[in-house]
């Protein structure tokens, strides 16, 4: 099996993805629909096991690496500069994501001529008010937040604990070393779990391809092209421009270094599930020191949702075009602003962002019935769209982490530039 482990992980994941698509289509075309779906459901178990293993370590990974990363800074003031730079960059990239999303929606007009008459309306649960969402960041019981996997609350508590250990100085050193040791152990666990990624990807993609089929993809072809093209442009122009022009680092080297998390993000549609792979790629392939990777990346996986913001803008225009709503110039501004705000803190799980669409569509008074029809129309194949916007989110996290590390002197450029082409 040495030859298998000698292949780059991203290549093995890509192979699993391609074989999964082929197997899913083969089953859907050659077997009875009921028997075929039953077989694909069994194959999907492999993917479900992989996802559960990843989710098993997400919360402890975020908690321990964030505390260890802050402790490794050695100075509470440094946390402030890193946090401010990361947050400003996340906002800036989201702004450009909005522009590109609205531009693609206007240029390609994915909703023009679309007949939504056959769509089954899909109602949503009651949305939590923004004030309650913000208040929930402060956990009443941090241990309960850890148990429930409330990432925002976990991040808030980890930040305070890390700062507390720094302020404790010598008295905080034993605990600081404990968190660093546990963080290192969890990263080693990640290495082991990620060896299952090619098989997990195969199971997930085979089920998606086999049950949804090519006909479903064709039904939203223009919308899919708009989302994929918009995300690709955003990654190349905004993230690539940040790395090449502002940081003076190799454009190709950056994307080559994050191929592993990009492939895992595409297959799992979850930026939270991809976080362990993102941290590993950032430290090992891009040379980002753990003090930055352990603090900026968990924050980005929670608040940096450029792909979501871009996607919501396109779908908002899709809705207006499909139902004939007239948009004034101020509507575009309000759509962009609302997309940016609701994307912050979106749950990093598949299709979570689709259910924020109602808030965006309130900007131009879309009726509840039309909102339900649009969501019902998109939901069955949202996974196809979600895969690409998750890749965008993860790429943005690493681009911002790279910039912050470079400006803080926490980037090993020799490591960044030394990655082999194969």
pLDDT over 70, % of the chain: 84
Rounded CA separation 232/395 (Å): 11
| Highest mean pLDDT: which range of 65-69, 140-144, 252-256, 293-297 | 252-256
Pull the structure tokens for residue 370. 């039309």
Structurally, the chain folds into a number of domains equal to 1
Rounded CA separation 147/56 (Å): 11
pLDDT, average across residues 134-154: 77
pLDDT at 122 over 50: no
Rounded CA separation 304/397 (Å): 7
Whether residue 35 is contained in a domain is answered as yes
User: What integer pLDDT is reported at residue 124 of this predicted model?
Assistant: 45
pLDDT at 172 over 90: no
Angle of CA points 152, 157, 158, to nearest 5°? 95
Whether residue 147 is contained in a domain is answered as yes
Rounded CA separation 394/255 (Å): 11
Per the model's pLDDT, the better-predicted residue between 75 and 230 turns out to be 230
Rounded CA separation 391/397 (Å): 10
CATH number of the structural domain spanning residue 358: 1.10.3860.10
Whether residue 195 is contained in a domain is answered as yes
Whether residue 410 is contained in a domain is answered as yes
Q: What is the pTM of this model?
A: 0.72
pLDDT at 178 over 70: yes
Q: Within a 10 A sphere around the Cβ of 79, how many other Cβ atoms?
A: 18
Whether residue 164 is contained in a domain is answered as yes
Whether residue 422 is contained in a domain is answered as no
pLDDT, average across residues 215-224: 71
Domain limits at 376? 2-417
Give the orientation angle of helix 221-233 with respect to helix 382-407, to 10 degrees: 10
User: What integer pLDDT is reported at residue 233 of this predicted model?
Assistant: 96
Whether residue 85 is contained in a domain is answered as yes
Rounded CA separation 403/410 (Å): 10
pLDDT at 119 over 70: no
- How far is CA 404 from each of CA 80, 87, 246, rounded to the nearest angstrom? 12, 10, 12
Which of these ranges, 98-107, 278-287, 321-330, has the smallest mean pLDDT?
Answer: 321-330
pLDDT tens for each residue of 320-364: 888 888 888 888 888 888 887 777 655 544 455 666 677 788 778
Whether residue 86 is contained in a domain is answered as yes
pLDDT at 88 over 70: yes
User: What integer pLDDT is reported at residue 292 of this predicted model?
Assistant: 85
Q: What pLDDT band is residue 314 in, cutting at 50, 70 and 90?
A: very high
User: What integer pLDDT is reported at residue 236 of this predicted model?
Assistant: 95
Average pLDDT, the chain: 80
pLDDT at 176 over 70: yes
Residue 187 and residue 276 in contact, taking contact as beta carbons nearer than 8 Å:
yes
């Amino acid at each position: 099996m040495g030859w298998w482990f000698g292949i780059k992980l991203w290549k093995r994941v890509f192979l699993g993805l391609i074989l999964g698509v082929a197997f899913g289509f083969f089953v859907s075309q050659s077997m009875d629909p009921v028997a075929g779906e039953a077989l694909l459901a069994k194959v999907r178990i492999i993917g479900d096991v992989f996802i559960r293993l990843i989710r098993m370590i997400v919360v402890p990974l975020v908690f321990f690496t964030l505390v260890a990363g802050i402790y490794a800074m050695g100075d509470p003031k440094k946390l402030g500069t890193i946090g401010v730079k990361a947050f400003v960059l996340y906002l800036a990239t989201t702004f450009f994501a909005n522009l590109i999303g609205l531009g693609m929606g206007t240029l390609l007009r994915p909703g023009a001529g679309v007949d939504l008459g056959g769509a089954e309306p899909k109602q949503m649960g009651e949305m939590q008010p923004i004030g309650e969402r913000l208040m929930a960041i402060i956990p009443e019981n941090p241990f309960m937040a850890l148990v429930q996997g409330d990432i925002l609350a976990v991040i808030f508590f980890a930040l305070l604990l890390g700062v507390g250990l720094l302020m404790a100085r010598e008295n905080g050193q034993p605990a600081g070393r404990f968190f660093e040791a546990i963080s290192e152990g969890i990263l080693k666990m990640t290495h082991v779990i990620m060896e299952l990624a090619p098989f997990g990807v195969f199971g997930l993609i085979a089920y998606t391809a086999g049950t949804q089929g090519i006909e479903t993809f064709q039904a939203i072809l223009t919308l899919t092209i708009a989302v994929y093209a918009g995300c690709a442009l955003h990654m190349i122009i905004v993230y690539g421009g940040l790395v090449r022009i502002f940081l003076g680092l190799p454009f190709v080297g950056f994307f080559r270094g994050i191929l592993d998390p990009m492939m895992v993000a595409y297959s799992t549609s979850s930026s939270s599930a991809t976080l362990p792979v993102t941290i590993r790629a950032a430290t090992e392939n891009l040379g980002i020191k753990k003090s930055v990777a352990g603090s900026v990346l968990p924050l980005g996986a929670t608040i940096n949702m450029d792909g979501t913001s871009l996607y919501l803008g396109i779908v908002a225009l899709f809705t207006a075009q499909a139902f004939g709503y007239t948009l004034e110039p101020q509507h575009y501004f309000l759509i962009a602003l609302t997309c940016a705000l609701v994307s912050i803190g979106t749950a990093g799980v598949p299709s979570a962002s689709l259910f924020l669409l109602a808030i965006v569509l309130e900007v131009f008074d879309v009726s509840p019935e039309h909102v339900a029809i649009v969501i019902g129309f998109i939901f069955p194949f949202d996974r196809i769209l979600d895969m690409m916007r998750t890749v965008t989110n993860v790429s943005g996290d690493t681009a911002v982490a790279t910039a912050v590390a470079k400006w803080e002197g926490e980037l090993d450029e020799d490591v960044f530039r030394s990655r082999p082409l194969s």
